[in-house]
Amino acid sequence: MNINRRQFLGGAGVWAAASFIPLGIGWPGSGWAAKAPEQLTLAFSNEPSSLDPHWHIVSANAALTTYLFDRLVYSDEKQRPQPGLAKSWRVIDDTTWEFELRQGVQFHNGAPLTVDDVIFTFDRAQKIVGSPFSLRAYLSDKSVEKVSDSVLRITTSQPNPIVPNELATVAIISRGVGEQASTADYNSGKAVIGTGPYKLVSYIPGNRIALTRNDNYWGNKPLWKDLVIRPISADGARIAALMSGDVNVIEKVPPMDIPRLAKTSGINLTRSVTNRSIFLTFDHHREQSPFIRGNDGKPIANPLRDLRVRQAFALAIDTGLIVKHILEDGAKVADQLVPEGIFGHSGQLKPVTADPAKARRLLTEAGYPDGFRITLHSPNDRFIRDTAVVQAVAQMLTRIGIKTEVDTMPSSVFYKRVTGDDQGSEFSFFLVGYGSATGESSSPLRSLIHSIDKTKAYGSSNRAHYSNQQVDKLIEQGLVTLDDARREALFIAAIELAMGDVALIPLYYPISIWAMQKPLVYPGRSDEQTNAMEMTLGEGKR
């Protein structure tokens, strides 16, 4: 059965039709258990925005490039650093690390991996014109020296305890290919020459990406000879494709469909709390904010700069109700930047208990007894039920006197507008998310909470222009502290201080849910990536 792109857009209608398809049509059946099939087909919820591994490290891009390119350091399912192209590393002193490359690694074109390729990669990754996210955030503090053909030394401008975590974000490319290649050359497939477990066969934008096994791969050989990735953005269409056997694995299963799939013969489900926090944030910077008005419709001084007003916002929003009734328990209520189990999580913080009466009292104390008007902006296709979430938030705020309108838009439009310019976001109040690419709390602290400092790549995602010198000091101390216990204590203190200052309002941590044909088993990943190399057939059959 072939489902075309037009049918993908059918959403719930396709899902309803799929419920009448007898299981077994188009399914590999018992052959899966007996031996590995030749091909595995995955359905991604978002299409990668580029085949250039340095363009943007959002989940879909990072997942795809993992098949094609390796990193010096591999990030496991809990984002813990493991040996990758570097078979080992050691700390020489507070600012010096030494990495030893594996021997015998080849690029897809047969060229050997060298230290020169790594040095070229680190330079090139910081200079991608037009990139939505510069890898300078993870590389700008590092200088690289070739010690031998297999050893490189990395010197940091100050002590940096998470060098391996940061290097796990950077895909290594061939110098011989990359010196003459632009992002367009990668997107065309011409320059997609990595050391990864799969090679690119074809890329049809909006339809499919076909890969084939790299039989010269230095590591464990992939179970499947051929891999097909299909971008299917509509939830119902992804489920229909799985039910029909058109794909073998789907990601981001909507919470409302979990009970039905859990009862479906031949389907395995995996649930994993992500490292991503979905939150609301404010314009902390401007004296007058573009989407805030008095009740008479006239501009007023920005009330969001008053802590009491931000506290009122937090007290008005019942995150538990949102998680239970809108997200249908497909998420966990958030109380800070990172969930439990992530380095830097504070065990002292608890979700704010909604208290509308107290919220109204705080607004009165701040000089807004009758509230004011504000617009809440959000993407409408980025997070699970994002439109419904912001509509619920708007109703809760309106009940305490903050008359809230909602304006949602496609994420492709939203992220251009929310980034804004040097004065801040175009918006006053908005919903966004952030997942830690390094698997610990320094990433959101440095990018989201630290005051903007472009020379040090701090505040790169601080669209709200939040600034607190005490928080900055704690973050900066943590970033140069090699002792793990001391560093975590500093990050926890920074998080607690920022949450007390209502730098943002955490709403929830999504629970990523994968559905797959039996006997496929997948452990899930905290970074939300779908990685076929970590899937098994039943009891450890890989």
84 and 56, same structural domain? no
367 and 320 in a common domain: yes
- The number of domains in the chain is 3
Instruction: Among 154, 179, 204, give the residue marking a domain's end.
Output: 179
Q: Which domain holds residue 297?
A: 276-510
Shared-domain flag, residues 164 and 41 = no
Residue 427 counted as domain residue: yes
How many CA atoms, within 13 angstroms, populate the side-chain half-sphere of residue 205?
6
If asked whether residues 386 and 432 sit together in one domain, one would say yes
Identify whether residues 503 and 409 lie together within a single domain: yes
* Alpha carbons 63 and 396: distance in angstroms, whole number: 37
414: Cβ contacts below 8 Å, ≥ 6 apart: 377, 378, 379, 382, 408
The CATH number for 524's domain is 3.40.190.10
Q: Classify residue 191: in a domain, yes or no.
A: no
Check whether residue 262 and residue 284 sit in a common domain: no
What is the model's pLDDT at position 36? Answer: 56
We report the CATH number of the domain holding residue 340 as: 3.10.105.10
Q: Are 166 and 102 found together in one domain?
A: yes
Q: Residue 137's pLDDT is what?
A: 79
* Residue 147 resides in a domain: yes
Question: CA 141, CA 154: separation in Å to the nearest integer?
Answer: 10
Q: For every one of its 542 residues, what pLDDT tens digit does the chain have, with 9 covering 90 and above?
A: 232 322 222 333 333 333 323 333 333 443 444 455 799 999 999 889 899 999 988 888 999 999 999 999 999 888 889 999 999 999 999 999 999 999 999 999 999 999 999 999 999 999 998 887 778 878 988 999 999 999 999 999 999 999 999 999 999 999 999 999 999 999 999 999 999 999 999 999 989 999 999 999 999 999 999 999 999 988 999 999 999 999 999 999 988 898 899 999 999 999 988 888 999 999 999 999 999 999 999 999 999 999 999 999 999 999 999 999 999 888 999 999 999 988 999 999 999 999 999 999 999 999 999 999 999 999 998 888 899 999 999 999 999 999 999 999 998 899 889 988 877 899 999 999 998 878 899 989 999 999 999 888 899 889 999 999 999 999 999 999 999 999 999 999 999 999 999 999 999 999 999 999 999 999 999 888 999 999 998 854 43
CATH number at residue 172: 3.90.76.10
Claim to verify: residue 94 and residue 58 sit in the same structural domain? no
Q: Could you tell me the pTM of the whole model?
A: 0.76
| Residue 141 is assigned to a structural domain of this protein | yes
Is residue 339 within 8 Å of 509, Cβ to Cβ?
yes
Query: Cβ of 269: how many Cβ atoms within 10 Å?
Result: 15
Do residues 31 and 157 share a domain?
no
The answer to whether residues 62 and 74 belong to one domain is: no
Please, is 366 exposed, middle or buried when counting C-beta atoms within 10 Å of its C-beta (0-12, 13-18, 19+)? middle
Asked, for residue 271, whether it belongs to a domain, the answer is no
Which two structure tokens, joined as six digits, stand for 46?
């978002």
Within a domain: 190: no
Which residues, 6+ apart, have CB-to-CB distance to 135 below 8 Å?
54, 57, 125, 126, 128, 169, 170
Residues 51 and 11 in one domain: yes
533 and 460 in one domain?
no
Asked if the structure places residue 244 within a domain, the reply is yes
DSSP string, 226-295: EEEEEE--SHHHHHHHHHHTS-SEE----GGGHHHHHTSTTEEEEEEE-SEEEEEEE--S-SS-TTEE-T
186, part of any domain: no
CA 94 to the chain's CA centroid: 30
Pick from 410, 373, 372, 404: which is nearest to 391 by CA?
Answer: 404
Pairing of strands 267-273, 249-250: unpaired
Longest CA–CA span in the chain (Å) reads: 71
**Residues whose CB falls within 8 Å of the CB of residue 201, separated by 6 or more in sequence, listed in order:** 210, 211, 212, 226
Paired sense of beta strands 536-537 and 520-521, if any: antiparallel
pLDDT, residue 328, reads 87
Of 125, 148, 179, at which residue does a domain stop?
179
